Amino acid sequence: MANNKAKMILEKDFKISEIDNRIYGSFIEHLGRAVYGGIYEPGHPQADENGFRQDVIEMVKELQVPLVRYPGGNFVSGYNWEDGVGPVESRPRRLDLAWRTTETNEMGTNEFMKWAQLVNADVNMAVNLGTRGIDAARNLVEYCNHPGGSYYSDLRISHGVKDPYKIKTWCLGNEMDGPWQIGHKTAAEYGRLAQEAAKVMKWVDPTIELVACGSSHRNMPTFADWEATVLDHTYDHVEFISLHQYYGNRDNEISNYLALSLEMDDFIKSVISIADYIKAKKRGKKSINLSFDEWNVWYHSNEADKKIEPWSIAPPQLEDIYNFEDALLVGCMLITLLKHADRVKIACLAQLVNVIAPIMTEDNGPAWKQTIFYPYMHTSVYGRGVSLNPIISSPKYDSKDFTDVPYLESTAVYNEEHETLTIFAVNRHLEEGLELAVDIRNFNGYEVVEHIVLENDGNLKQTNSAKGTPVAPHSNGNAKSENGGVTAVLPKLSWNVIRLAKRN
């Protein structure tokens, strides 16, 4: 029996917001083996007539990814989108200065859009505001979204795509605050450029939504001033400001590592404050929402990446192999995004295949699921509806960088249409199970139908591989409906999904 006890109250009317499904988005960059050898491997036994790996398509569908950001990332800041359209045999090979590789341009906009349709995802298209600018950006919108009768829309039609893609969400460049970025800019330089690019992109298609670049991470020296300056310029023209953040357990301190989602929470709150400050300053009516369009764990592959032969084609890069503890942090980060569903309307797990990804592939071999695949899949599949605001009381601990870290990280999603209620929970306790009692108030007739658990027998560094997936969830959790509520013991260091449905 657990000595650790936590309580949670769920009420239908304690709502944060309807969840925008785009928070379960992901990301494919022309980087490493994400595109070549990941989603696209002609000659592979599982490749379809387009060269797309069907085993990968099936896994992406399992994740129900609603939105995929493309084509970068740092790559986009040196990318000429024109290189990737038209006859494949006449496309140029280019040096990709962002990742010091060679880009063959075999895949480009139309191929990627076809793949996105096959996995039922929308695309979050990024434009190059590094080496290019307003002209290339507005031309790409015209190429993708204008029906016909103009140079670029007719060019698309001549490339075999009659109907416009109607891409709704667009990123105005990538990490323009970072000195590593091709065409790095000051906040004022970027703010002006983003404002003018946004203006004309919307003149081409007024239905699009735009994301301005925020900081590359919370510890950037320009953080906060960057957001304020960029939004000062772009407030009238954009709907979103972006956030990026990656974490790693570099000091091998699990308690501290699992608390990093508290920092993510703080980052989100800070960016909301800055966006609201600009709204107030401008006496504005609209709130700028948040696009957390790069987030994940990223550190395992840092050393290996230093050894990559420059200018190779699609080398293994950023191939983090995730372990069990990474899956727990990813679960905590997903819960954190859900807690901010009123302002975080887009989020992209970076990335999707082979590059810091939930899905890995072997060249000419099988695809397999990383540990982080599971919390991402569970929230994407069961976390649609209304994000509830639970009242939680949990015992707490202190770690190296954090105080008052709750052992219980949890939230819940109510789907009125399907009459389901899903509790997502992580027990951060290293040694003890957490006894959870949930008061479900006015969810009359709701009962536990499944308690999914991702746990591990002591080896926090356990990884999966093409040979097997020792880190995989089971449905033998002990949650049960009791006295109009729910009780469960969440095993030490575990990810839990407690699914309730209304009894007929």
Active site residues: 175, 294
CB closer to ligand AHR, 29 vs 432: 29
CB of 74 to ligand AHR, least distance (A): 4
Which of 486, 421, 447, 492 is closest to 8 using CA atoms?
A: 486
Q: Determine if 74 is a binding residue for ligand AHR (CB under 6 A).
A: yes
> Is position 37 an interface residue for ligand AHR (rule: CB under 6 A)?
no
Does 78 sit near ligand AHR (CB under 6 A)?
no
Q: Does 128 bind ligand AHR (CB under 6 A)?
A: no
User: Which run of H or E residues covers position 4?
Assistant: strand 4-9
Size of the site for ligand AHR (CB under 6 A): 10
Do 272 and 280 contact (CB within 8 A), yes or no? no
175 is a contact residue toward ligand AHR (CB under 6 A)? yes
Stretch (H or E) spanning 413? strand 408-415
Does 352 engage in binding with ligand AHR (CB under 6 A)? no
**Residue (32 or 491) nearer to ligand AHR, CB:** 32
**Min separation Cβ 130 and ligand AHR, Å:** 11
Contacts of 264 by beta carbon, 8 Å cutoff, 6+ apart: 245, 247, 295, 333, 336
- Name residues contacting ligand AHR, limited to 195-254 (CB under 6 A): 216
Question: Does 29 contact ligand AHR by CB under 6 A?
Answer: yes
Pick the closest to residue 445 from 413, 422, 424, 419 (CA basis): 419
**Residues 366-385 within binding reach of ligand AHR (CB under 6 A):** none
Closest CA to 425 of 367, 344, 491, 350: 491
Compute CA distances 497 → 4, 233, 378, 431, 475, whole Å: 19, 43, 7, 20, 9
The torsion of the CA quartet 293, 296, 302, 306, rounded to 10 degrees, works out to -30
Contact in structure between 241 and 291 (CB atoms under 8 Å): yes
- The pair of structure tokens assigned to 211 is 């994301």
Segment lying near ligand AHR (by CB under 6 A), choices 39-47, 66-74, 408-416, 489-497: 66-74
Beta carbon nearer to ligand AHR, 145 or 216: 216
169: contact with ligand AHR by CB under 6 A: no
Query: From the CB of 95, what's the least distance to ligand AHR, in Å?
Result: 16
C-beta separation of 315 from 305 below 8 A = no
Which residue's C-beta sits nearest to ligand AHR?
73
**73: contact with ligand AHR by CB under 6 A:** yes
Q: Which is nearer to ligand AHR, 30 or 451 (CB)?
A: 30
Based on the shown chain and the rule CB under 6 A, indicate whether residue 55 belongs to the binding site for ligand AHR. no
To ligand AHR, the closest distance from the beta carbon of 176 in angstroms equals: 10
What's the half-sphere exposure (Cβ side, CA atoms, 13 Å) at 423?
37
Cα(484)–Cα(451) distance, integer angstroms: 17
Question: Which of residues 351, 361, 422, 464 is near ligand AHR by CB under 6 A?
Answer: 351
DSSP class of residue 350 equals S
- Using the rule CB under 6 A, is 294 a contact of ligand AHR? yes
Residue with Cβ nearer ligand AHR (376 or 495)? 376
The answer to whether 59 contacts ligand AHR (rule: CB under 6 A) is: no
Query: Percent helix, strand and coil across the chain, each rounded to 5?
Result: 30, 25, 45
Q: How far is the CB of 175 from ligand AHR (least distance, A)?
A: 5
174 makes contact with ligand AHR (CB under 6 A): yes
At closest approach, how far in Å is the CB of 355 from ligand AHR?
7
Q: What single string gives the DSSP state of each residue in 47-84?
A: B-TTSBBHHHHHHHHHHT--EEEES-SGGGGG--GGGG
Out of 25, 38, 72, 108, which residue is the one contacting ligand AHR (CB under 6 A)?
72
SS3 289: strand
- The residues binding ligand AHR (CB under 6 A) are 29, 72-74, 174-175, 216, 294, 350-351
